[in-house]
Amino acid sequence: MEQLILPLIISMRPIQWLKNLAVFAAIAFSGELFLTDKFISVLYTFLIFTLISSGVYLINDLLDIKGDRLHYSKKNRPLAAGKLDRSIATVTSLLLIGTGVFWSFTLSMNLFLLLVLFITVEISYTLFLKQVILIDVIAIAFAFMIRVFAGSIVVLTPLSSWLILTVMMGSLFFAIGKRRSELTLLSNVAPKHRATLSHYPPQLLDGITFMMATAALITYSLFTFNQPELSVNRKLIIEALPITLSSPKWLMITIPIVVYALFRYLYIIYEKKKGDAPAEVLISDKPLLTTTIIWLLAVISLVYILPG
């Protein structure tokens, strides 16, 4: 049984479930994260996306067995390595996706419709969109944005337009960085693993990578600037603080943290020759993981603890 369950779980890519945490973005920045009803609804949404994305990953591995065997790390995936039966993977993927879709239907019709769109984009990406230059990275970013919209729509929490743009630019940055890393790591076998890599000149990938890093920083900065002013309890801050800073755009304090995170990720792409698996990089790179934790703590403190 262990020989069946473990390969199946590995193929569902648990590390990639981190992407689904994006559903919490809307309620986190709106100050509603600890409202029980909303938190539970968004938690259900997270679990639904986890089920569906796991099923999609299985389908992806089923269709990409030949290409994965040419990849330096993907060749070790259970299906590519012959450690998982294809029929079991197929049935499991259908069960996971079916369960997620049915659950979403019972939770919210709008969520159900978004999930149908999400599945359509993900399956289309697996079948042919990933073979279309530039459209492949846009599809990745679009799927990430659907997660953010889903977390907002299931509890009817408004989304900041600047937050939407930040997610779009940030996900494009990670997607194009993934392509740049793949081109470097796979070298001569890159086109065999992914045909679009043969059409991506390194100079184009470099240009778009830096462009998206800049865009992500600008949109995040504007997002923090356009957030409502936080009424901070003066007892919790230094009394000598100028009155002009008594109710500023406190989230702007997190901008330098984001700047370092972007710089660190660029360093990982170009110096450490990684970045082809963003979620794994986040977990394995200690400076980046520490920065992410500091950013999360800063946001929670500014949105939930400091306001009086």
The pLDDT of residue 234 is above 50: no
What is the predicted pLDDT for the residue at 307?
Answer: 65
pLDDT at residue 194 in the model: 60
- The answer to whether residue 302 scores a pLDDT higher than 50 is yes
Question: With 90 as the cut, is the pLDDT of residue 104 above it?
Answer: yes
Token pair for 244: 């002009």
- Going by pLDDT thresholds of 50, 70 and 90, the confidence category of residue 118 is very high
For residue 140, the surrounding DSSP H or E stretch is helix 135-153
pLDDT of 210 higher than 50: yes
Place of tokens 């997190």: 254
Average pLDDT over residues 97-111: 95
User: Can you list the domains of the chain with their CATH numbers?
Assistant: 1-159 (1.10.357.140), 160-308 (no CATH)
Note the pLDDT of residue 74: 79
Dihedrals φ, ψ of 307, to 5°?
A: -55, 135
What is the pLDDT averaged over residues 192-206?
A: 76
What is the residue whose two structure tokens read 């919490």?
24
The model carries a pTM of: 0.89
Phi, psi of 8 (to 5 degrees): -65, -45
Among 18, 13, 21, which residue's Cα sits nearest to residue 43?
21
Q: Mean pLDDT, to the nearest integer, of 89-106?
A: 95
Q: What is the mean pLDDT of residues 27-55?
A: 95
Whether pLDDT at 80 is above 50: yes
Q: Which pLDDT value is given to residue 187?
A: 59
Please give the mean pLDDT across all residues of the chain.
Answer: 87
